[in-house]
Structure 1
Amino acid sequence: MKKNNSPSNGYDTYAEINLRNLKDNFNIIRKASNLKNKSKNTKICAVVKANAYGHGMTRIAEELIDCGADYLGTAFLTESVDLREYLSLKMKNAKILCLGALTLDTEHFKDVIENAIEVTITDLKSAKALDKYAALQNKIVNVHVKLDTGMNRIGFLAKDAYKAVSELKKLKNLNLVGIYSHYATAEQPGNSYSLKQLKTFKDVVSEIESNIHKFELKHIENSGGILNFRDDFCNMTRPGIMLYGYYTDRTKVKKDIGLKPVMRMVSKVSLVKELPKGESISYGRKYTTTRKTRIASIPIGYGDGYPRALTNKAKVFINKKLYPSVGTVCMDWIMAEVGMKDKINPNDKVIIFGPEYTADDLAKLIDTIPYEIITNVSDRVKRIYV
């Protein structure tokens, strides 16, 4: 059998993950994170939740540690355990912070200790249960206290934080490494609500550190916070979407700092057919040809994470030119109208999104965010690292 030397490795549709762009983005973030830090040693917790925003958690995590990430951030304990099992073979000392709330489950406590996961404390009941379990195992667990400064999701309310940390300080098998919060509107430069959250965080933490406990790590800046609200009070940032080449809200970015999309979704033309005027395309007959034309069938659909809401709205790149996607998005197929003039043939490469036509461009068409476009890429799509 002839060896396939194509980057696709024989896959009709695949996600090309550019590790050079990932590294460049990380270095840009490091520079931005250090802007307000005179010692230039701000730590970075690189967020790899949701399969590294669709890019493949284990490989991306490995690359980010090589880049110099101090922590890897996950959303759930299951992600943390999977990540530890992978990294234990290569990078057993990598620090993992689970950003989700801890649940009252002995099996979870066991996973935390056996896999050296640093966890988030959001309530006293689960904290005391974890401390009790850790004591039985003669182990110390590193924890980060979560303050709710206005997101109103998880964490101790500001008014309860002082008392909560006083109680947590009594738990001898929990090591209070960090304290953090999360912005609700950080994508908006100068937003008064974010400024209020930052002030609340600084006031509460300063009081706690003056009287109860000094934390090794303080962090509130997510991607939007790094861009718009970087403050020297904190010594760690938590970039997420920025790592993968996107801004939290492209329309509100004051300055393009050079981020590059890491993922390029690629497919190919499977079939080109000529149709007369008046022919309908795909399910529901939602598009009808207005002239003699050619339709290219492309093997990608909502089964691959390509949103059905993009029906009759998106475009695709073929041979460095944009063509409209027409007809209802199917589970396994989309169709593009390529006209009669251009030379389009089966096996021609199709760019669904990437640096040329971004996830931002697709997101705007259906009133969503690039996060949703890239994290929706399904497991059916092979990730190929270049």
Structure 2
Amino acid sequence: MRPLVAEIRLDNLIHNYKLSRSRHGGRALAVVKANAYGHGAAKCAQALADVADGFAVACLEEALELREAGIKRPIVLLEGVFEASELDEVARHGLWPVVQSEEQLQMLLAARPAAPFNVWLKMDSGMHRAGFYPHDYARAYQRLADSANVGDIVKMTHFARADEPELSTTQAQIETFDAATAGLPGAVSIANSAGILSHPRARRDWGRPGIVLYGASPLPEGNHDGDGLKPVMRLATKVFSVRELPAGETIGYGGTWTSDRPTRIGLIACGYADGYPRLASTGSPVAIDGQRSRIIGRVSMDMIMVDLTDLPGAGIGSEVELWGDVVSVNEVAAAAGTISYELLCNVKRAHKRYV
């Protein structure tokens, strides 16, 4: 069996949820969309089933997976429904749909549910991706409140740049949201992971921790400032071949790296087909038997080359951590010019081991 293993530490997941909810105050939805950011939605939700106040997913099929896994707590559909016919399943399973457009609002008002829907009404407070404009929000709220199809209404918005806490953008979004919802009753949800960590004014009734649940910070200096998060996924493999390369030789596709001294190279079972980023090539950090080293050359589809030169005890069978406890997934993301969300969501072919 190929030795690439994604170890999922469920105790760390629970720790991160409790930490996020404590920092936010009130209640918190555990965001498990996109297969729990690559960690396995059903397993992660089951681990949080007796802890989380509720869950959030992108769409109906993700919610149904959780219900089939025995999850009883509330589940919010962050994208709402795509067709009116989905509302039958939404009602049957007691899901809470987001309403973010006139079309979705009309679908809901035209439905014939056996019991009223609990709705999350989204405002576009400045991200300009989805939601009702501030000047249209109160009217949309009132149309829902006047309908027998609707029970509770949670007012929500989403931040565009909360992961850049030095900017005034998030503060402006909060002020826009507060002004447009003044006098409208009901709970409020505006804090995503970055909002929970960096914007105290965003901490309202419902938090929506996502990436922080999995132990990766959304902030530029995250995982280096004592944020208290614990990595949930540890992606590791093994060295399965070793070779000696004299000085002056290139290695790998494109010959992008040339040895400047005699070099011991370990070949490991992982590549971009497993979700490791191809752009994270020479210099990207790894840990070999717990000691930091680096990738050399270009990442291949199934294999990566690592530097063993200064690790005389390392060789065939040595464990290589791609990210986890020694190497932060944020470090690897920075080396590849991307974000930790993408790396975690893209992991595949690795054997998942739940601890």
| Range moving further from structure 2, 336-345 or 143-152 | 336-345
- Does structure 2 conserve the Cα–Cα contact (< 8 Å) formed by 1:189 and 1:252? no
Report the Cα distance in structure 1 between the residues aligned to 2:107 and 2:295, rounded to whole angstroms: 54
Between the two proteins, the alignment pairs up a number of residues equal to 355
Say which of 175, 188, 198 aligns to 1:199.
Answer: 175
- Does structure 1 conserve the Cα–Cα contact (< 8 Å) formed by 2:191 and 2:203? no
- Does structure 1 conserve the Cα–Cα contact (< 8 Å) formed by 2:164 and 2:220? no
CA distance change for structure 1 residues 278 and 252 in 2, over 3 Å: closer, same or farther?
Answer: closer
Matches within 5 A, 1:2-13: 11-13=2-4
Q: Deviations over 1:53-102 (max 9, x none)?
A: 11111111111223x21110111222122222222xxx3x2110011143
Q: RMSD between aligned alpha carbons?
A: 2.1
1:317 has 2:287 as partner = yes
1:18 has 2:9 as partner = yes
Match of residue 69 from structure 1: 52
Match of residue 80 from structure 1: 63
TM-score normalised per structure 2: 0.93
The percent identity for this pair of structures is 34
Say which of 93, 111, 118 aligns to 2:96.
Answer: 118
Specify the code of the residue in structure 2 equivalent to 1:69: A
Say which of 299, 323, 326 aligns to 1:329.
Answer: 299
Specify the code of the residue in structure 2 equivalent to 1:64: L
Match of residue 82 from structure 2: 103
Report the Cα distance in structure 1 between the residues aligned to 2:293 and 2:30, rounded to whole angstroms: 36
- Does structure 2 conserve the Cα–Cα contact (< 8 Å) formed by 1:221 and 1:230? no
Report the Cα distance in structure 2 between the residues aligned to 1:94 and 1:340, rounded to whole angstroms: 51
Name stretches of at least 5 consecutive residues in structure 1 with no aligned partner: 1-9, 35-41
Say which of 272, 291, 315 aligns to 1:302.
Answer: 272
TM-score normalised per structure 1: 0.86
- Does structure 2 conserve the Cα–Cα contact (< 8 Å) formed by 1:272 and 1:344? no
CA distance change for structure 1 residues 340 and 247 in 2, over 3 Å: closer, same or farther?
Answer: closer
Matches within 5 A, 1:225-264: 225-231=195-201, 234-251=204-221, 256-264=226-234
Report the Cα distance in structure 2 between the residues aligned to 1:191 and 1:254, rounded to whole angstroms: 21
- Does structure 2 conserve the Cα–Cα contact (< 8 Å) formed by 1:124 and 1:168? no
- Does structure 1 conserve the Cα–Cα contact (< 8 Å) formed by 2:21 and 2:207? no
Match of residue 381 from structure 1: 350
| Range moving further from structure 2, 10-19 or 51-60 | 10-19
Deviation at 1:335, TM superposition (A): 0.7
- Does structure 1 conserve the Cα–Cα contact (< 8 Å) formed by 2:223 and 2:229? no
CA distance change for structure 1 residues 148 and 341 in 2, over 3 Å: closer, same or farther?
Answer: closer
1:142 has 2:126 as partner = no
Specify the code of the residue in structure 1 equivalent to 2:11: R
- Does structure 2 conserve the Cα–Cα contact (< 8 Å) formed by 1:16 and 1:263? yes
Match of residue 34 from structure 2: 50
Match of residue 37 from structure 1: none
Report the Cα distance in structure 1 between the residues aligned to 2:174 and 2:106, rounded to whole angstroms: 28
Q: Deviations over 1:116-154 (max 9, x none)?
A: 221001123322223323x1x534222111111111111
Report the Cα distance in structure 2 between the residues aligned to 1:299 and 1:11, rounded to whole angstroms: 7
Match of residue 20 from structure 2: 29
- Does structure 2 conserve the Cα–Cα contact (< 8 Å) formed by 1:147 and 1:156? yes
1:286 has 2:256 as partner = yes
Q: Deviations over 1:166-213 (max 9, x none)?
A: 222232112233111111122233632211211222222223x2xxxx
Deviation at 1:268, TM superposition (A): 0.5
Match of residue 345 from structure 1: 315
Report the Cα distance in structure 1 between the residues aligned to 2:42 and 2:223, rounded to whole angstroms: 30
1:177 has 2:147 as partner = no
SS in 1 for 2:182: helix
